[in-house]
């Protein structure tokens, strides 16, 4: 399966999640790429939309390779990818430095995307975490841990495509997992989209504005 774009992927996921409409759902996106996907799901389920702000902690000489992830919160969650840390021979000083850079980026993203926007309540609700795809799963895992800590009644991960390795790791963190494509050979998330252009800050803010509490 190849998706036309993120909105197309979101509409297909929404059809697979229709039973959640009457479960008091809240849809949570990993920005920025997860937002157009999540917006389609939130619209179909008549659910509120919010984000879980996370930052990949990349290997210093290969930033796209995640050796961990950092997720917002009163006590930010750091999830480590020990396999990558070991393979790349990353010492604790290098990991700590990369984590601090991620903290700065996370705070900058919060200011740019959210400003003073109130956050959606998660406690006691059916939380659905959405991204445009999962490669290593480091960021998604940290986000799931953060959502669980905030008291979600049930926790679902919904993604259009993911690697088999990531799904095996993430399945233990959720009550339900919805993934449309599970290729045996996984290169990059972008390979499963005809249009995978970057989502801009302006586009992300506009999506969130459509689902702001004041707009309901």
**106 with 125, same domain?**
no
Which tokens in the block code for residue 87?
């393979």
* Model confidence pLDDT, tens digit, residues 36-92: 999 999 999 999 999 999 888 989 998 878 898 899 877 788 988 898 999 999 999
Instruction: Please give the order of strands across the beta sheet that includes 54-59.
Output: 54-59, 62-71, 77-80
For residues 160 and 13, is the Cβ–Cβ distance under 8 A? yes
| In-domain check, residue 1 | no
Average pLDDT, the chain: 92
* Model confidence pLDDT, tens digit, residues 197-207: 999 999 999 99
* Model confidence pLDDT, tens digit, residues 152-165: 999 999 999 999 99
Phi, psi of 193 (to 5 degrees): -130, 140
**127 with 32, same domain?**
yes
- Reference 216, options 73, 49, 93; nearest CA is 49
Unique residue bearing structure tokens 């939130």: 42
What CATH number is associated with residue 210? 3.40.50.2020
**88 with 188, same domain?**
no
**124 with 109, same domain?**
no
If one counts the domains in the chain, the total is 2
pLDDT recorded at residue 81 = 86
pLDDT recorded at residue 203 = 96
**135 with 211, same domain?**
yes
CA distance 128 to 156: 5
* Model confidence pLDDT, tens digit, residues 131-178: 999 988 888 988 999 999 999 999 999 999 999 999 999 999 999 999
CA distance 32 to 151: 24
What pTM did the predictor assign?
0.90
Which tokens in the block code for residue 29?
């996106």
CA 166 → CA 2, 124, 128, distances in Å? Answer: 19, 27, 17
- The pLDDT confidence band at residue 216, using thresholds 50, 70 and 90, is low
CA 154 → CA 118, 198, 213, distances in Å? Answer: 22, 31, 22
Phi, psi of 68 (to 5 degrees): 170, -175
């Amino acid at each position: 399966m190849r998706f036309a774009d993120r909105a197309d992927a979101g509409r297909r996921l929404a059809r697979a999640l229709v039973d959640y409409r009457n479960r008091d759902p809240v849809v949570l996106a990993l920005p920025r790429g997860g937002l157009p996907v999540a917006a389609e799901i939130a619209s179909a389920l008549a659910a509120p939309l919010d984000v879980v702000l996370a930052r990949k902690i990349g290997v210093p000489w290969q930033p796209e390779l995640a050796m961990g992830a950092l997720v917002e919160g009163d006590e930010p969650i750091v999830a480590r990818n020990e396999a990558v840390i070991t393979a790349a021979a990353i010492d604790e000083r290098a990991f700590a430095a990369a984590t601090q850079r991620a903290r700065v980026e996370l705070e900058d993203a919060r200011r740019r995307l959210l400003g003073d926007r109130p956050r959606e309540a998660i406690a006691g609700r059916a939380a659905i975490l959405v991204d445009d795809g999962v490669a290593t799963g480091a960021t998604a895992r940290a986000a799931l841990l953060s959502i669980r800590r905030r008291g979600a009644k049930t926790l679902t991960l919904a993604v259009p495509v993911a690697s088999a390795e990531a799904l095996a790791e993430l399945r233990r963190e959720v009550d339900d997992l919805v993934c449309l494509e599970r290729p045996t050979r996984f290169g990059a998330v972008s390979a499963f989209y005809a249009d995978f252009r970057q989502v801009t800050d302006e586009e992300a803010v506009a999506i969130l504005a459509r689902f702001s509490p004041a707009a309901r």
